[in-house]
Amino acid sequence: MVDSWVDSAERIGADLHLEPAGPGGRRAALIRALREAVRSGRLAPGTRLPPYRSLAADLGVARNTAADAYAELVAEGWLTARQGSGTRVADRAAPLRPAERSPARTPAPARGPRHDLLQGTPDASSFPRTAWLASYRRALQQAPNEVFGPGDPAGRRELREALTEYLARARGVRTEPGRVVICSGFAHALRLLFAPGGAVLRGPLAVEAYGLEFHRELLAAAGVRTTALPLDEDGARVDLLGRERAVLLTPAHQFPTGGPLHASRRAAVVDWARARGGVIVEDDYDGEFRYDRRPVGAVQGLDPDRVIYVGSVSKSLSPAVRLGWMVLPERYVDGVLAAKGEREAWASVLDQLSLADLISSGAYDRHVRRMRQRYRARRDRLVEALAARASHVEVTGVAAGLHAVLRLPSGAERSVLRAAAEQGVALDGLAAFRHPATDMAAQDGVVVGYATPSEHAYGAALDALCRALSPSARPARASG
């Protein structure tokens, strides 16, 4: 018998990994998925299942749906439910009706990794559904009819006003609503700024030697040549900026290595932009999540005429919302609007109104505060677990954000990634983020997205990560 949910979670590998799908509604799909997990032996006899409330939250279904699914499977004999010991897989889980099986079973389809520690997404089970719904309802009730006509490419005034106030308060951004343009996220902002034949920015563009490959590809597809700025302990070496016309930086929390851009470098890059007529594109992708001291304000606040500030809700709410904003120097506003087109064709006007309400009602702040506490607690658990079980690994970049970088000895990255895969852990290595043309020495490490798993899957994911990092897990096939 397995004694606690946490123990069993570790034993079975994180959460239940159910993917309810198929005909008949959510309840029927969940029953099928649970039944199959027991029948196939993936959930062993005796395994304690999470409380139905946690299961409902993780899968994004109503509590009644999860409770009904458990009740149905208890009735069928697959599960048992006893006061005080929760719901468990029946000891001799056998179907009440004989299962229809063909004699030779086809092998189960290959499963993906069981523990998702890939950086990039916030905890999807924490999306503030109730608050979003309340904001959406209010926005819809109050919206004048013109909302349902073609949208203004600048974005709804309500949202631009709410953001102007919020960004000043939370990020030290200095602007007014006329300089804010709504877009569908950072990637969209890059496309608008560097639209081929557009009137806004052209290459060459300096980028950090480590960054998102997706963004480099997007720039390359737009015909923008990028040069790579090496990084050191103070952030990007902006003193090496040369003939570029623009520089793309992640000053609050270098992506992915994790440090803030040092104050002297922030001042230096603004000086460079003033002296050379250049512009800084500031990617403030997770600026709200700083744990150990007050947030590092946006560089934009130093000179609103030299910085294009870009943010989105992809880390604070969800990348599925596809809403972001650009805060522009006056001279770029018309060019960006021209690149956007005559009417709003990207960012749902109703979602814009909903976000405006979420921000101005205070619900956005409350959500960010709650998530900051939650992620900080996860960050602390990660640091503690590694100190106890993988003390040879150096943990960096943990003062802020939703991911940490574990530094590894030179040549160890690939073998750690292999060991992680063997433990069912999905992770990125630092090499995946390295600019192909940089001459900066390669750094070995892995990037741990500690915000990604749902709350009750996190312990098992950490456990598997520690197993992968244990020195005995690695060297056999390590080639470097």
Ligand X SMILES: Cc1ncc(COP(=O)(O)O)c(C=O)c1O
- Name the residues that contact ligand X, by CB under 6 A: 120, 185-187, 212, 250, 255, 283, 285, 312, 314-315, 319, 324
Nearer to ligand X, 251 or 304 (CB): 251
* Spatial separation of the C-alpha atoms in residues 414 and 410, rounded to whole Å: 10
Min separation Cβ 403 and ligand X, Å: 9
Nearer to ligand X, 18 or 248 (CB): 248
Nearer to ligand X, 47 or 254 (CB): 254
* Spatial separation of the C-alpha atoms in residues 16 and 314, rounded to whole Å: 26
Min separation Cβ 255 and ligand X, Å: 4
Nearer to ligand X, 50 or 258 (CB): 258
Min separation Cβ 326 and ligand X, Å: 11
Min separation Cβ 406 and ligand X, Å: 18
Min separation Cβ 319 and ligand X, Å: 5
Min separation Cβ 341 and ligand X, Å: 19
Nearer to ligand X, 266 or 474 (CB): 266
The owner of tokens 């300096």 is: 206
* Spatial separation of the C-alpha atoms in residues 429 and 80, rounded to whole Å: 42
Q: Which residue is nearest to ligand X (CB)?
A: 185
3 state SS for the chain: CCCCHHHHHHHHCCCCCCCCCCCCHHHHHHHHHHHHHHHCCCCCCCCECCCHHHHHHHHCCCHHHHHHHHHHHHHHCCEEEECCCEEEECCCCCCCCCCCCCCCCCCCCCCCCCEECCCCCCCHHHCCHHHHHHHHHHHHHHCCHHHHCCCCCCCCHHHHHHHHHHHHHHHCCCCCHHHEEEECCHHHHHHHHCCCCCCCCCCCEEEECECCHHHHHHHHHCCCCEEEECEECCEECHHHCCCCCEEEECCCCCCCCCCCCCHHHHHHHHHHHHHHCCEEEEECCCCCCECCCCCCCCHHHHCCCCEEEEEECCCCCCCCCCCEEEECCHHHHHHHHHHHCCCCCCCCHHHHHHHHHHHHCCHHHHHHHHHHHHHHHHHHHHHHHHHHHCCCCEEECCCECCEEEEECCCCCHHHHHHHHHHCCEECEEHHHHECCCCCCCCCCEEEEECCCCCHHHHHHHHHHHHHHHCHHHCHHHCCC
Min separation Cβ 250 and ligand X, Å: 6
Min separation Cβ 288 and ligand X, Å: 13
Nearer to ligand X, 35 or 216 (CB): 216
Nearer to ligand X, 210 or 272 (CB): 210
Q: Rounded to the nearest 5°, which phi and psi values hold at 207? A: -125, 165
Min separation Cβ 300 and ligand X, Å: 15
How many other CB atoms are there within 10 angstroms of residue 107's CB atom?
5
Nearer to ligand X, 16 or 173 (CB): 173
Nearer to ligand X, 78 or 255 (CB): 255
Min separation Cβ 310 and ligand X, Å: 8
Min separation Cβ 234 and ligand X, Å: 19
Nearer to ligand X, 158 or 428 (CB): 428
User: What's the distance, Cα to Cα, between the start and end of the chain in Å?
Assistant: 42
